[in-house]
Amino acid sequence: MAFMRQANLALIAPVSDVDVDFRQRLAVDFPTSLASAADMSLSDIARVLLPVYERWLLQARNAQRD
């Protein structure tokens, strides 16, 4: 139950300077898909980034096989 409480707090907490910087960096690095990262929810950002991470993971696994 404590985890759920902490997770909920993370989602509703005020945005920190670090979070703002991270969101700005996302908008720069992914201008097509995350141009509005500053206004997106964390779950929306994660949903957009999932295919990117999956592609990176596949590339890393393929590199290990070579």
**pLDDT tens, residue order, the chain (66 aa):** 676 776 666 666 677 788 899 999 999 999 999 999 999 988 899 999 999 999 999 999 999 987
Q: Give yes or no for a contact between 24 and 43, defined as CB atoms under 8 angstroms apart.
A: no
Q: How many domains does the chain have?
A: 1
Distance of CA 38 to the CA centre of its chain: 11
- Domain coverage including residue 44: 2-65
